[in-house]
Structure 1
Amino acid sequence: MVAMLVLAAGCGGPAGPTAAPPGAVAAASADTRKAEAEQAVLAAYAGYLDALRKAESDGDPHDPRLADYLADPLLTRVRLAIRDAKEHGAMRTGKLVSDPTVTEVSLDTVPATVQIQDCLDSTGYRLVNRESRKVVRGSAGGRHVATATAVRYADGRWLISEGAVHKDQPC
């Protein structure tokens, strides 16, 4: 009985694929482009945070991985902060927890951009004295809203060019 229903459902119509209504293909490709951009940007953002943790832990402002995920002006700000901590005998240790979401995708702008909002949890990510491993006073972590902007470059890479932690906005 089920086989007859399946076969009957296939009868009577034209053979082969049916044409999509006009505009449906364009909408599908725009949705696909948006989803691909979101995925690529979240991967770049995760790479940035991983590279940042390593560079801050090592005290290496010129860690080459930073340039794989960051662009100016954020790249320069991150390098200066790492260098400043190193010059003052400090380093970061622990775990930085991230939970990012894409809040805006602008693929038709030049350059294309994607906005990210994150709840960064730095309660276990401490600035410590490199020698004594004591926590640097005034560097307590917490859970705060962070925002970032990714820009697509001509070679197709998405790089994080702006970022800020909003310490007045807990999450």
Structure 2
Amino acid sequence: MGTHRRQTLAGIACVAFTVAGCSSGESANVAEPARAPAPSSAASASSTSPVETAQQKAVDSYLRMWEDVAAVATTSDWQSPKLADHATGDALSVLSRQMYADHYNGLVTRGKPVNNPVVQSVEPPDVPTTVLIRDCSDASNWLKYRADNGQLADDEPGGKHLINAEVKLAVDGSWRVTRFAVEGTGTC
């Protein structure tokens, strides 16, 4: 078995993403920052603009996707339906393939990444159906381990990674991450 990066989602350098280029370096992962609070009543929901609502729901979906990934990565269960709760399309395909690769190579992931997503743009501007997010994810404490003996997969330190993501409104009214690109360690 070859050397494996300790960061989760190792090997994911780019997911067909036109907003940002991809580096040829290592890739990373992300997970769980504070979430924006959901509107607590119908009154507050009605005072929120469609743009604010779209941004809030897209960021929440993005964060939940990484929470799901962190949970599934503890067993590298590439067949977990949880992966599809907040991801679809290219994003879901990449996540499933990475979990399969980790399972095949006898790796699991422990810890959780820390995400700091920021909305970069919304389209269309009046009633958004697509939100682009930029994140500086810290995967320093989200590392890969060998499932058979519990030892770190390698001696490479984790770190911060720039992530660009596209989140779209689905036909069922939910928001799901459709694509993302993870840049190498130290890119943010």
Q: TM class, shorter-chain normalised?
A: 0.7 to 0.9
Matched, 1:163 2:162: no
Distance 1:85 1:153 in 2: 29
Q: Which of 49, 55, 65 is the matching residue for 1:32?
A: 49
Task: Give the secondary structure class of the aligned counterpart of 2:179.
Answer: strand
Q: 1:53 to 1:139 in 2, by over 3 A?
A: farther
Alpha carbons of 1:138 and 1:77: their partners in 2 closer, same or farther (altered >3 Å)?
Answer: farther
Higher strand content, 1 or 2: 1
What RMSD in Å do the two structures reach over aligned CA positions? 2.2
Which of 67, 75, 89 aligns to 1:50? It is: 67
Q: C-alpha separation between the residues in 2 aligned to 1:129 and 1:61? A: 16
> RCO higher in 1 or 2 (8 Å CA, sep ≥ 6)?
2
SS of 1:97 mapped into structure 2 = coil
The amino acid across from 1:126 in the alignment is L
Q: Give the structure-1-normalised TM-score.
A: 0.76
1:123 paired with 2:143, answer no
Match for residue 122 of structure 2?
A: 105
Say whether 1:72 aligns with 2:72.
Answer: no
1:14 corresponds in structure 2 to none
How far apart are the structure 2 equivalents of 1:63 and 1:153?
A: 20
- What are the ranges of 5 or more consecutive residues in structure 2 without an aligned counterpart? 1-45
Aligned to 1:89, which of 66, 81, 106? 106
Aligned pair 1:60/2:77, yes or no? yes
* TM-score, with structure 2 as normaliser: 0.69
| Larger relative helix fraction | 1
Distance 1:83 1:149, change over 3 A: same
> Take 1:41 and 1:74, find their aligned partners in 2: how far apart are those partners?
14
